[in-house]
Structure formats: C-alpha cells, structure tokens
Chains A and B, each alone.
Chain A
Amino acid sequence: MEASTVISLTLGKTDTSLKRRKLVDQIFTILVVLSALIGVAILALLLFYIILRGAPALNVAFFTERPLPYGEPGGGVAPAILGTLQMLAVAALLGIPIGLGTGIYLVEFGHGRFAEAIRFTVDLIAGLPSISVGVFVWSLIVRHVIGNFAGLAGAIALAIIMVPIVARTAEEMLRLVPDTLREASLALGVSRRRTILNVVLPTARTGLVTGTVLALARAGGETAPLLLTALGNQFFNFDLLQPMAALPIQIYNYAVGPYEDWHTKAWGASLVLIGVIATLSLLTRWATSRSSFKAR
C-alpha cells in the first residue's frame, strides 16, 4: 500500500510539471511563430509599397531609354541598369575570388598571428562605412590611377565591400565541413589542394553561394561609394574608364529632385533594382545548383 502511494504521488507530481512544460512549450512556439510573422509582414509591406508606388513608372521605355531632362515626357533608366550590371560583374570578378580565397586560407591554411591579422583586417573592412570605401577609392583610383570618375572605380569600391562578406561567410561555411571528410579524402592519397577543391568546397557549396549572393545584393544597393567613384551618367556608357550610371545613383538623383514625376521614377527604379538583384540571386543559385563533381 505504501508503495502504491509513493507511485501515485510521483505520478501526480509528474503530471503537473508535464502540464507546465507543455504550456511553456506552447507559449514559446507562439512567440517564435509571431516573430517570424512580423518579420515577413514588414518585408511584405515594404515590397507591396514599393510596387504600389513604383509600378506606375514602369513601361517599355523605362527599361530601354535613357533619362530625359524634366519636362520631356518618357525616358527611362536603361543606362543605370546596364551600369549596375557592368559594375557588379566586374566587382564580382574581383571580389568573389579574393573573398573565397581569404576564407579558404583562414580555414584550411591559416593559423597563428598572420591569420589573426587577416581576420582582423577583414572584420575592419566589413565594419567600414561604405562612404569611407568610396573616399578611399576616389582618392587613390579616381584621382591618381584613372584620373577621372569611372565605372571601374565604382566596381573596385563595390568589390572592396564584397570581399569581407564573402570571406566571412566562406570561413563560417568551410568550418562547418567536418574534418572527417578532409581526412577521408587525404587518406585516399588525394592532395590537400584537390581535397579542398573537390571535397571541401562542394560540401560547403550552398553556404558559399548564399554568401556570394548576399555580397552581390549588398553591393548592388550601394549608393554612397558610387557617387564618389562612378559618379553617374545620363547616357549609355560601355567604357569602364568613363563615368557610369547605376540604379542606386539614379534612384538618389530622382528622389532628391523636386518633381512628382521624378519621385515616381525613383520608386520605379527601386523596383527595378530589387528585380535585378532577385534575378541575379536566382541565376547564381541556378548556375551553381548542379553538382560540380561529375564523372569525367
């Protein structure tokens, strides 16, 4: 009889604490779902508002023509779209390999003081206000190397902004690759270099792509450093050594203007910029989604 009392007592106690735990669980779940909903809602609202304000600006001319002075009807942001694409392409070409290389170095080779110094520098650049990057490129490249405002200088500024983002995400993603996989490859008589290229990088591929896409998106939206380097341009320009238009600059110019029509065009250009970055992200993911490790 005594034993059964003990059991029922214990059970009773478990019962209340179980109820309590379930309640806490439920509250926690609700809180998490709620914050997710709020986050998504804010983003959706933002997107909805940009579409609402920007859509009236969109027509064929907006994508194919150059901006016209105020008063002339029509005109578009085509030079800015092309300028952004050109500068992003060059920035990606410069920034992604350097960023990936830095991340790979830090994880696979770097140790000791030198690696710490590099990690510190990368963090420093990441924390630099983008306008400072613009000033730096302006004083060095624009004034002393090229001699004038140029798309190339803009691309260099964007590359400098991309490097730390790519490097730090790459470092984190590569650290997630278990050492057992590196050892498995090395134990098969595969060299360090090939182990990194064919085992470590493909295993971390999704994360590496995410870092690259983030860096591209961040660079694509930068305005301040471009004002000091690429300057902007009302005309079509395919010469990277000349001033070049870019969507953020165009948005800025339209937005600070006094005319209602320009404001609408600023919203329209914002919408286009979102579209360009979304397309680039999707293309990057698509292009890298297939296995890079196929039977030859």
Chain B
Amino acid sequence: MSQEQPTLIGARVPKLDAPLKATGSATYGHDVRLPGMLHGRILYSEYPHARVLRVDTARAQALPGVKCVLTAADAPDTRFGYGRDNVPFKNQVVRSLRDEVAGVVAVDPETAEEALRLIEVEYEPLTPVFSPEEALAEGTPLLHPDRGSNLFQTYHYEHGDPQAGERESDVLLEAEYQLPYVSHACLETSVVVAHFDPHGRLTLWSTTQIPFLLQRDLAEALGMDGSQIRIIQTAIGGAFGRGLDIYPFEPIAALMARKAGRPVRLAFTRAEDSIAAPARQPARVRVRAGARRDGRLTFRDVSAVLDIGPYVSWGAVTPLVMMETTASLYKVPHVRFHTDCVYTNNPVTGAMRGYGNPQSTFFIETMMDRLAEAVGMDPVEFRLLNANEPDTVTPQGLVITSCGLKECLQAVAARADRAAGESAAGWGQGTPVSPARDPFHGAPPSRRRRGIGFAATLNVGGGARIYRSDGCGATVKVDDFGHVTLVTGATEIGQGSETVLAQIVAETLGVSLDDVSVENSDTDVKPWDVGVHASRTTFIAGNAACIAARQARDQIFETAAEMLEVKPEELIARQGKVMVRDDPERSIPISKAVRRRHFRQGGRIVIGEGWYDPPTRLVDKATYKGNISAAYGFGAQMAEVEVDLDTGIVRVLRLVCANDVGRAINPMAVEGQIEGGAQMGLGYALTEELLVQEGRVLNPTFADYRLFTAADMPRIETIIVETDDPGGPFGAKGVGEMGGTPTAAAIANAIYDAVGLRLTTLPMTPERVLAALDTHQPKDGE
C-alpha cells in the first residue's frame, strides 16, 4: 500500500538553515553582542618551555579603557582537560608558545591588544623538547614532572599471533610514514561570550561540540557547580573536532566575565586560531604487513608515535580509531598495533574529523596497494577478496551488521574505465583553459602521466562509546495547531543534523517538514547528549528523535482512536492527518486530535520523550577489544590523477566516492558530507600542513596554510550505497567523517599508478613529488 511507504526519507531536502546562512541572518558566535559587553585578549608565552618568574600587569592595568587584567592568581588551582594537565593561566611553567600567561579585559579588542604589550613577563627559559623521540630519550626534561614521564599513554593491541602471521606470509612489506600537523581551519575562528547573571549563574555562548561535557568540565575548572552553568550554542561556523574538549580560553572567558562584572567576549584572530586551537597530531608510523600468494592477508604490525604537544585533549584517544582501521578494515587474522602518545613543547593537538582515521587509512590502504602488487593481483580484486562482510564479528570484537564495502569497491571500480578527459571538468574550469592558466603550464603530453588509485574505509556509523554514555535525549511536542517541536540534545555544526532529524520526526508523525522546528542549542532546554563526534548524530540522535516522535504519535493515536472509533493499532499518520489504515477516507487532522486531548477535563498535552543509548560498550581497558559502535559505515574512493614529471604537480582529475550509509535519509546532505570530507581529504593529501619549527607555527594564515579552494576542487562523483542497517533510524548509518578518510590513500595509489612512486609523507606537495621523481623517473610507456 503506497501510503505505507516513507515519503520524506530519501528526499533531497535542502538544509533547513540554508536560507539563514546564505542571507547572513544566522547568529554565529562572532555575531553575539550583549549590552555592556567587554572584550578579552590573551597574552601567550614567548618561549616554548620556560619558568614564569614574574608577571607585572601594572602598566596594562593603568591603560585607559582596560577594565581588568588577569593572571594565574585569578584562577582556581584546578586542572582540567582529558589529561587533567591544563590550567587557564600557566602560573609556574609555560610548555608551548600557545600557553596562556595573562589576559586583559577592555572596552574594545584594540585596547585589550595594546594592554597585552604592556604586560611584563620575566621568563627563565628551560630546555625545550621538540620531538617525541627526544622527549622519550633518557635525561630529557619532563614537561609535567609530576607525571614522571613524557610518555602520556601507550595503546597496545593484539589479536591472533602476529609472529605466526609473518611466517604464513608469502610477501612481507614494510614502510615508514610521516604525517603532518593539520589545522581544522574553520571559517569561524574560536569564540566565546561569557556572562554571569546577578545570581552568579554563568551563561556561555559557545561554538562547542560538547555542551554537556563542557558544562561539567567548566564547572570543575572554575570550582562551580554544573547547575550554575548554562551553555548556549550559537550557529557554529565550522568545528571538525576543534570544539571536542574544554580548552583554556573557555574558563578564561568565564574568569574574565566574573572579574569584570560584565559580559566578556573572547574571539580569536585567524593567526591565533592556527596557533592556540588544537591541530591534528603529527605521527611517525612504521607499518609491516603481509599476504599469502593467493591474496589473503596474513598480518599487520603498526607502531606509531604521536606528538600530542604540551597538554592532552580527547585527541589523545585517536589511536583507538587508528587501531580500529588497522585491526578491522578487511579480514586480517593477526594484528599488532602499538602507539605511544608523547608530550612535547610543540603546538597543542586535539580531535579532528576522522579522529585518527585519515592517518590510519592512509598507511593501511597504501600498504594494501603494495601488497596487491606484490602478489600480482588487481588492487580492487585484492581488496574484494579480503573485504569485510555483513553479519560478522571482527577479531577486535566489532559487530558488523550491515556492510556494503564490496558494493562500494565495485561501484567506484565500475567508473574506472570512463575516460577522465571527458568528465574531468572541475568546478574551476567552466571556461576554456589558456596555456597560461593550464595548471601544467603547457607541459607536453609526453611529460605527463595519468593514473588511478583506490582506497576503502571503515568508520564507526552507529555512535562510538568513548564515554560512559553514548546517548542522546529528545522530546517531541505537538501543539494545538499541529506544529511539532523537536528538542534534541544533538548539536548542529553545519553537518545538517537539524534537517535530517526534522525529516525523521516529520516522517514518523506524518506531517510535512514545514510543520517541524528543531531546538538544539541551550543546555537549560535540551536533554543530554555526549556531543557531536564520531559520525554519530543521525544514528544516535535520529533514533532518540524517532522514539520521542513515536511516543507523541501514540498519544495522538490514543485520542484519535476514540474520535474515529477504532483501535489505535488501526491508525496511521499521513499528510498531517490520522487515518484509518484500511479506510484512509476516515481521518481527522492531527491538530484536532491534539486539541481534543488537551482541552478537556483531565486533559493532557502531547509530548513524547526519547532517550537512545546504543547497545555497545567501552573497549576493554587491557585488550582494547569490544564493540564500541552499533553499526559501521564503509566506503571506497577512486582517484584519477595527472602528474607533471618536470614540476611534480599532481592534479586530481576526478574523485569517485562510494559510501555505504545504510540508508540516505537525505541524499543531498549525504553528498554534502562526502564532498566536504573530500575537500579536507584532498588538502590532507596534497596541500595542507601546519609547518612547525622549534614549536612555532610558521604558516598561521590562510595565505600560507593552503586549503583547497572551490577553484582547485576536482569533480567529485558521489555514489550512495544503501544496506538498510537494522539498528539505524529508517536504516541509516553515519557518514560524517568518511568522505575524507580514504582520499589521501586513493591519491597516493593513483600517483603510484601514474609514475611508479610510493609516497609516504603527507602532504604530497609538488616539491616532494619532484624530489621523489629525481630518484625514479618513469620510463616511456611505464
């Protein structure tokens, strides 16, 4: 019966907040202005490692327009952050050039900035530590002496018998990888506005991704009770993991507001954001892997060292994800994974989209390519042979329910033979290309090589339990006019969660999308949620919204059943009406049923409540095994590249991306996630690197930190694979991070196909490619 078919699920619905954002009427963090608001600025350390001997604020204090100056003396002596190793202002030792030493509150940012220059700080430089190797060496100064070591944490994982795996291998390969610092490069720099009301309750306007954890962490950092903190999330101009922890500027803003007795806004400049906000950890990784002659994988052995900088954030948990790719992408009987997270006096690092997965997928999938070649198999055939399958449990304990890995690989491979020339016109190429505009500067065809490369990806798609709850709450209210309000714990960071959740609720209640609004920005109003990360929102918040909407629907059905004189089970909700399933002519508007329920003696309002915490568990502390996600997403990409043999320029002509998303609730939003992920993956592969020398970021502006711009983008072809996950709302799984995870590997493999070079350092800049070409120039016809 056609009326049973979902109508809004799978609909290409534009994002609900698109008009607001396109017309500039959305209120971002930078737009928040409160009456009497003051401006804060932070003074950072001049040394990567030093003792702070004296901070003299007298001259700054005396500058007209300055309201107050803060130092460590103004902050409670409690540590915060994932590693409990951070404080708002560093009172004894600074451990990086981004360390906060003092702060100024003034009538405008310029005055505050000027006052910073009047603060005198006396330092006693300490020996800095700029590499993990150095940090772990005997006799190196300790960043946090009370911890007894610069080694923050080690992750060691094994399954099977890696040594036996080596013996079973007919081919055994080894490679070392060097992965760079990468910036989130959010369009909106970090910003927060803090205000204490006369009762002493703190409100924070924030772009955080974890409002409830921040509420708790902030309470701890400020010595307050969580109930005294309210977090209001503004429209968020990019997050990508930057907002996945508490960072010092947040308690600092609160301390400033408290001391000044007025609202205080703290907004980073771009350069400040590149330096003081966390970056993706750089890593050095050694990989060994083997296969049998028949193509079956035998073992993987990965050792990585992560430079986490001076303080630990949730980003230090990224090895869990690197481990997951290493242990569970493809069927590998024997795996060993070892990672050391090491303190240094380099920039601070944190979580970033993919959370370790772009890194691990790069080394695992380039290794897969080499193994395929070593056993003489086609790279796609080789991957298909070893691919994960539905309804299996990996040795790591991942319970794989739906799995479209093979379909994704086959889908991108099917596009491999299509000649690139015809379809390669990228966005920047609407007009004919003149020789001067040609990215290859008119290189003769004999000096160019084309190649294609593949890579696949596995990512959590049903939440990821890294905290004791991976849950999300929701309520759905239906008012007398039939208008539906979803209040969800989930956070919108531009990924389109509002739209997708509204679709789920509208579909469940049988109303149109226009009848649904979403409230998701105020901890005083919305129910708890762990935060927006791990591609979890559609799955987790979607399930919670679905539960709440069903409960509201049941309430409506109860009343409608009385009115229509049938049993509730005989009813369906469609087109804003409650209908009798077998006799759709018999119906009443939902609003009418709500009013009937409401306006009577002993009446009730329609409000449904949903809480969804997936049936998963934290990994075992000793073995790191366990099913942390209720579903897993899969994907594959094919990159087609052209390499200029004389300049080392690599141009991606096409990127074909297939993703198993369970079910695409909104295909347009899925495509947006994949394209956006690809943009970040392309940058990771080819252009993006925060250059750090002796702890200093050398390229903190967008002039020198090179993101892919619209004009640089190749054509992105997206293919949606649907596997209808049994646990997801309407069968959906997460897709938020997968768009960018396999990109660097696919491009590296394509470069190999083009010129026979295996590159293991990212980004693969023209200079690096040319240097490699100098050691190996492909022969004609190669």
**Are A and B associated in one complex?**
no
Q: List A residues at the B interface (Cβ < 8 Å).
A: none
Q: List B residues at the A interface (Cβ < 8 Å).
A: none
